[in-house]
Amino acid sequence: MIGGKRSRAARAVGVAAGCASAVPGLLYLVGTGLPLGALLLWPRTRAYALRILTGGARPLVGLERRRRERFFGDRFPEAYEGEGDALRYLAVRSWTGLVCAVVLALLGFGLVLAVLLAGGVVRGAFGPAELLAQLVLGGVLLFLGLQGLFALTALDARLAREHFGPSERELLRRRIDELSVSRAAVVRAVDAERRRIERDLHDGVQQRLVALAMLIGRARRGGGRDPERAAELLGQAHREAQEVLAELREVAWRAYPSALDSLGLEEALGGVAQRCALPLRIAYEVAGPLPRPVETAAYFVVSEAVTNAAKHADASAVSVRVAAAPGGPLLVRIEDDGRGGADPAGGGLTGLRGRVAALDGVLRIDSPLGGPTTIVAELPCV
C-alpha cells in the first residue's frame, strides 16, 4: 500500500464517513449472520452459507476501500485475497467504526459542556476551586478522547493495509528478495570491477612495464658502443616510466580514490573533472558530512557515468549536480548531451544499479535516442 497526500479536512471527512459506513456493515452482519447461523454450524452447509455472507460483504468492503482511496489517498492492489478475510475485515471494521463514532460523539458532548462552562464563568457561577476541578477533569477527558480517536484511525489504516495491501509477511518476503537480489548484484559488480582492474593492469600497465624494461635493456647493451643512442633510449624509457606512473595512478583512482578518505566527496569529484576528456561542470550543494558508503557510491556513480559519456555517448559536455537537503537523501544527477540510447541493462549501468540498491537507493536512467542522457541516483543518508 502506498499512502498519498490528503489534506487534514479530507482525512477528517474520511473518519466521519468511516463512522457512517460502519452502520450498514454491522446491520448486514447481524441481519444476515443470525438467520444463517444454523447453516454455519452444520459442516455440510457451512461453505454455502459463507459464500452467501461473503457475496453480500464484498460490496460493503469495496465501499470501505473506495473510502480509503478517496479521503486518505491510499493505493492498493487490484484485488483482495480470501473469502473469510472479507467477513473478518467487515466485522472488525464495523465495530471500530462504531466505537470511533462514540468517541466523536463524546468529544462533541465535551465541546458543548465547555461552551456551557465558559458561559458559567462569564456569569460568575463557578468559584476558583470548582473551576479548576472542571478544567482538570475536562482536560483529562479531552486527552483520553483524542488519544482514543488517534488510535482508532491508526487501527483503521492498519486493517486496510492488512486486508487490501500486502501483509507484513509478504512485505518481509519481498524485502528479503530485494536484499538477495541487491547482494547478488553487488557481488557481480565487485567481480566485474576486479576483472576490469586485472585487465587494465595486464593489458596496460604490464605491457608498458615490459616495454620500459626492453628500452632499459637496449640502452645497457648499446651504451658502450653508441652513447648517443643509449641516451636516446634512456630518454624514451624516462617518458615511458612517466606514462606508466600516470596510467597506474588512473587505475588506482578507478579502484578507489584516496581523496575520499582524506578530502571528501567534493574534492574526489574534482579529480574526476580533471581527468575527464570532456568539459565537466559540477555543482556540489551538500552542507554537512555524508556517510562514507554514500560518498563512495556517489563517487562511482559519477565516475562511471562520466566515463560512459566520454566513451560511448559521443557527448560534448557533461553536467553533474550533487545535492542533499538536511535529513533527506543525497541526489546525484548526471546529464550529457550525447546521442542517448543507453541500455539500462548494460554491464556498467547494471553494476551502478546494484551498488545503489545495496544502500536502499534508487537509480533512474532516461536516455532516449538522440539524447540527452540523464542518470539520477537517490541515496538515503540514514
- Say if residue 24 is in the same domain as residue 148: yes
For 333, residues 6+ apart whose C-beta sits below 8 A from its C-beta are 320, 321, 322, 323, 374, 375, 376, 377
The whole-model pTM stands at: 0.50
Q: What angle do CA 359, 365, 367 make, to 5 degrees?
A: 165
pLDDT of residue 2: 46
End-of-domain residue from the set 255, 287, 322: 255
Residue ranges making up the domain that contains 274: 260-379
Distance of CA 200 to the CA centre of its chain: 35
- Say if residue 368 is in the same domain as residue 297: yes
Compute the distance between CA of residue 173 and CA of residue 179 in angstroms, rounded to an integer: 10
Compute the distance between CA of residue 237 and CA of residue 219 in angstroms, rounded to an integer: 9
- pLDDT average, residue stretch 244-252: 71
Q: Say if residue 46's pLDDT is above 60.
A: yes
209: domain CATH number is 1.20.5
Compute the distance between CA of residue 335 and CA of residue 178 in angstroms, rounded to an integer: 28
pLDDT of residue 149: 87
- Say if residue 155 is in the same domain as residue 206: no
- Say if residue 19 is in the same domain as residue 150: yes
- Say if residue 194 is in the same domain as residue 343: no
- What's the mean per-residue pLDDT of the chain? 79
- Say if residue 293 is in the same domain as residue 372: yes
- Say if residue 147 is in the same domain as residue 13: yes
- Say if residue 250 is in the same domain as residue 266: no
Summarised one tens digit per residue, pLDDT across range 187-218 is 666 666 677 777 767 777 777 778 778 878 87
- Say if residue 128 is in the same domain as residue 201: no
Lowest-confidence range among 7-16, 19-28, 71-80, 159-168? 71-80
End-of-domain residue from the set 101, 130, 164: 164
- Say if residue 145 is in the same domain as residue 184: no
- Say if residue 213 is in the same domain as residue 282: no
Q: What is the DSSP string of 346-367?
A: SHHHHHHHHHHHTTT-EEEEE-
Q: How confident is the model at residue 252 (pLDDT cuts 50, 70, 90)?
A: low
End-of-domain residue from the set 118, 137, 164: 164
Q: How many domains does the chain contain in total?
A: 3
Q: Say if residue 53's pLDDT is above 50.
A: yes
282: domain CATH number is 3.30.565.10
Name the most confidently modeled range: 183-187, 254-258, 281-285, 337-341.
281-285
pLDDT of residue 50: 79
Please report, rounded to a whole number, the percentage of residues in the chain having pLDDT higher than 90. 1
92: its cell numbers: 472488525
Determine contact, residues 370/339, Cβ cutoff 8 Å: yes
- Say if residue 151 is in the same domain as residue 128: yes
pLDDT of residue 317: 86
Distance of CA 228 to the CA centre of its chain: 67
